[in-house]
Amino acid sequence: MLHHNERELYQMRSPKILTFYRDEICVKLGVSLTSRSPEKPKLMMKYLAENGFTPYLDIQNFEPFTKEDFYLAHTKSYVDRFFLKGDDSNGLSWSKEFAETVRYTNSSLYHAIRASIDYPQSVTFSPTSGFHHAHPNSGGGFCTFSGQVIASLKIYRELGLSGAYLDLDGHFGNSIEDSRSFHTDVSKAIPVGCNFNPIGRDESYLKDLKRCLVQIGKLYREKKIHYLVFCHGADSHEWDDLGGGCNTETWFKCSELVYLFALQTGIPLSLSLFGGYRRDDYNSVLSLHAGDLSICLKILCGVNVGYTPIVKSRQ
Ligand SMILES: [Zn+2]
């Protein structure tokens, strides 16, 4: 724990993470055998409650998106088609219930980011995923709409502020790059070069992440970006079904580096979950995310949850 004067020197945050969650954010039954993403927010919140995180999460209410919000980053024909009768371009089975949930997941992300700017003394959290592979005219890779693009466009138009995404999912987040030609404001909301996706395995991955953090720090100091969204996808872990290049130690080292960076710079910080697909032990996915949050709480919020992650070897 840091001493009082160190708390002032570094940009310590409030001891509670502002968490944008409502039960309507999730479907009740599985919609895809491959991805549990549509159920992930509920599974995550249940897991966090069972593991002692409740006192540190300040649950916030929020309104769902309307169709007009989705038009910001998508063609009207795709949005209307999706809500009317579905579209299998996201790789998920469609239902009216599932279509309703995406109004909430996308809105949760926007509200978390907006709150990180309005209340920079708090870390904010959207326990969601399913955004970063969508295209302006279709879904893709378990993602329906480009939640990041919509959120940042709204914030740019409301406040004139720009942001960066640190996407530590195992897969490149194409939705931001694919949206740049859809509207010129996208590159004002998320400047070119501000969609950070480190690459490599273990040591080289950490090296690339450090390079990204140096760049983000520079952009923040120069006021070219005003907030950071950290998406620590669990499918960058080596034992995930869609496995990436990080062993358990590396994966949590990434968390530590990002939260120390936020502590030192004071950059407004919001969190989102992104991928994680282990069918042999989904609790390992939730455990990685919970471990990440416990590191955030320890480094940035000065509280010790006493949580020990359990990431099981692949069966
Ligand atoms: Zn992924």
Span 55-91, pLDDT tens digits: 999 999 999 999 999 999 999 999 999 999 988 898 8
- How much distance in Å is there from the Cα of 96 to the middle of ligand 1? 25
The pair of three-digit structure tokens given for residue 293, joined into one six-digit string: 């949050």
Backbone angles phi, psi at 298, to 5 degrees: -70, -50
- How much distance in Å is there from the Cα of 10 to the middle of ligand 1? 32
Tens digit of each residue's pLDDT (9 = 90 or more) over 115-132? 999 999 999 999 999 999
- Residue 262 belongs to what H/E stretch? helix 248-265
- How much distance in Å is there from the Cα of 1 to the middle of ligand 1? 34
For the chain, what is the mean pLDDT?
Answer: 94
pTM of the model: 0.95
Give the architecture (CATH level 2) of 4-301.
3-Layer(aba) Sandwich (3.40)
- How much distance in Å is there from the Cα of 272 to the middle of ligand 1? 13
Tens digit of each residue's pLDDT (9 = 90 or more) over 201-252? 999 999 999 999 999 999 999 999 999 999 999 999 999 999 789 999 999 9
- How much distance in Å is there from the Cα of 172 to the middle of ligand 1? 7
Q: For residues 40 and 128, what is the distance between their CA atoms, to the nearest angstrom?
A: 7
Backbone angles phi, psi at 166, to 5 degrees: -110, 100
Q: For residues 106 and 131, what is the distance between their CA atoms, to the nearest angstrom?
A: 8
Q: For residues 235 and 246, what is the distance between their CA atoms, to the nearest angstrom?
A: 9
- How much distance in Å is there from the Cα of 294 to the middle of ligand 1? 22
Q: Is 271 helix (H, G, I), strand (E, B) or coil?
A: strand
Q: For residues 7 and 267, what is the distance between their CA atoms, to the nearest angstrom?
A: 15
Pairing relationship of beta strands 124-126 and 269-272 according to DSSP bridges: parallel
- How much distance in Å is there from the Cα of 170 to the middle of ligand 1? 5
User: Domains of the chain: which residue ranges?
Assistant: 4-301
pLDDT of residue 4: 52
Give the full edge-to-edge strand order of the sheet including 17-20.
Answer: 57-60, 17-20, 124-126, 269-272, 227-231, 163-167, 195-196
- How much distance in Å is there from the Cα of 231 to the middle of ligand 1? 10
- How much distance in Å is there from the Cα of 8 to the middle of ligand 1? 37
Kindly report each contact of residues 210-219 with a partner whose C-beta sits within 8 Å and lies 24 or more positions away, as own/partner.
210/257, 212/166, 213/166, 213/257, 213/258, 213/261, 216/164, 216/166, 216/261, 216/267, 217/261, 217/265, 217/267, 219/164, 219/191, 219/194
- How much distance in Å is there from the Cα of 233 to the middle of ligand 1? 6
- How much distance in Å is there from the Cα of 169 to the middle of ligand 1? 5
- How much distance in Å is there from the Cα of 286 to the middle of ligand 1? 15
